[in-house]
Amino acid sequence: MLFGDRAKYGMLVCGLSFCALLMSQQCSVFCGLLLWTTATLRNVRAPIWVADAKVEQVNEAVSLREVEVERVRSVPGVEWAVPLYWGILQARLPDGTFQGLQLTGLDSASLVGRPGRMREGRVEDLRLPNAVIVDQVALAKFAKRGVQLRVGSVFEINDKEARVVGICETDRSFLGQPYVFTTYARALEYAPRQRKQLSFVLVQPRREAAVAEVLQRISQLGGLRAVTEREFAWETLVWYFRNTGIPISFGTVVLLGVVVGIAIAGQTFYLFVYENLRFMAALKAMGARFRTLAGMVFLQALTVGFTGYGLGVGLAALFGRAVLEKGQPPFYMPWQVLVFTGVVILLICCLSALVGLVKIARAEPAMVFK
């Protein structure tokens, strides 16, 4: 019955494929966008982050006193603690135009938080005068303004020379600005002068088992809060959930996909069952139980569902592969997205099958003789 009516079968598959594509694609873009909000944590790796007690997420840095580094180092259980500068500054290009950037100042002795993936140059060259390392986003941003960055290129930050000694790969940021790495002391020279300039303190505990104790001791210093990298990432995600319209925007589109899927699949499947009702009545007249007919209907619905799910998720994956090569829009498809999409498609198929079963339940076997 199902494969014989190709028009209805094609419409059902297309409707469910569109629904699966819309849900999986939008959920993946949503996950990718949230992943961008925690890019700083992945680009600057550290077991424990120490920030001002009022900081709620990693993309807002409240300046600390320089003495906080020594206070944290004095805490029992801390193996080492280094300063980190992070701030949004403006780079002045040779033609006079400006480009925003995220300046990250690393401890010059240890270079903790260094870029993990280098295209060109060496991280150790950051110790050279006026040295900076730029990421792949900076190459693209500067290229749009007619400047081709390479090792040896020079631009200005706050009227001070910045010489490129390396090019690295970083995870893109939600703020959209490129990452520029330099030493902590040089970052303070580039940054506008103010009384407090320390952004974060990066900490390594002596033993993994002592992390909870170290966090508690640092937080008891007063005016500081210490969190693990994982906890800071979750706090950042929760902050964007609560304070931005991102979840509502993407949730509305996903809900629209569910409604469209239910409407198309339900109506089409009802018409399919209605047109084949005489065959169902004939089976009833031959002694087929309602349970057997229900199994037939659910098998037809699930066949369409699995086909549509596979096509929809496959198209979403192709979309993701295409955009990942360009770097935007963000796209990240974890297994949870596949499970969520599959469960929704399954529910749509079950609802569609139930709509058809209502008509079958009311059908009289005698109608086959009419």
Encode the chain (370 residues) as per-residue pLDDT tens digits: 667 667 777 777 888 888 888 888 888 888 888 888 899 999 998 999 999 988 888 888 888 999 999 999 998 888 999 999 999 998 888 777 888 899 999 998 899 989 888 998 899 999 999 999 999 988 888 888 888 888 888 889 988 899 999 999 998 888 888 999 999 999 999 988 888 889 999 999 987 767 888 888 998 888 899 999 999 999 999 998 888 888 888 888 888 877 877 777 777 777 777 666 666 666 666 766 767 777 877 887 888 888 889 999 999 999 888 887 777 778 888 889 899 988 888 888 887 777 767 666 666 655 555 5
Question: Do both 27 and 98 map to the same domain?
Answer: no
Does 154 fall in a domain?
yes
CA distance 130 to 157: 10
Does 228 fall in a domain?
no
Question: Do both 298 and 157 map to the same domain?
Answer: no
Question: Do both 77 and 203 map to the same domain?
Answer: yes
Query: Which residue from 93, 90, 99, 109 is spatially nearest to 153, judged by alpha carbons?
Result: 93
- Domain tally, the chain: 2
Domain boundary among 167, 190, 222: 222
Task: Give me the domain span that covers residue 22.
Answer: 6-37+245-369
Return the number of other C-beta atoms located less than 10 Å from residue 169's C-beta. 13
Question: Do both 82 and 149 map to the same domain?
Answer: yes
Question: Do both 175 and 267 map to the same domain?
Answer: no
Taking the alpha carbons at both ends of the chain, their separation in whole angstroms is 21
Does 280 fall in a domain?
yes
Question: Do both 76 and 207 map to the same domain?
Answer: yes
Question: Do both 125 and 258 map to the same domain?
Answer: no
Query: Which residue from 235, 209, 211, 220 is spatially nearest to 72, judged by alpha carbons?
Result: 220
Domain boundary among 188, 222, 256: 222
Question: Do both 24 and 140 map to the same domain?
Answer: no
Q: What is the pTM of this model?
A: 0.81
Assess contact for 41 and 84: CB atoms under 8 A: no
Does 1 fall in a domain?
no
Question: Do both 63 and 27 map to the same domain?
Answer: no
Question: Do both 203 and 259 map to the same domain?
Answer: no
Query: Which residue from 156, 137, 140 is spatially nearest to 148, judged by alpha carbons?
Result: 140
Assess contact for 135 and 170: CB atoms under 8 A: yes
Assess contact for 320 and 28: CB atoms under 8 A: yes
Question: Do both 138 and 254 map to the same domain?
Answer: no
Does 203 fall in a domain?
yes
Domain boundary among 189, 222, 255: 222
CA atoms in the 13 A half-sphere facing the CB of 85: 28
Question: Do both 285 and 353 map to the same domain?
Answer: yes
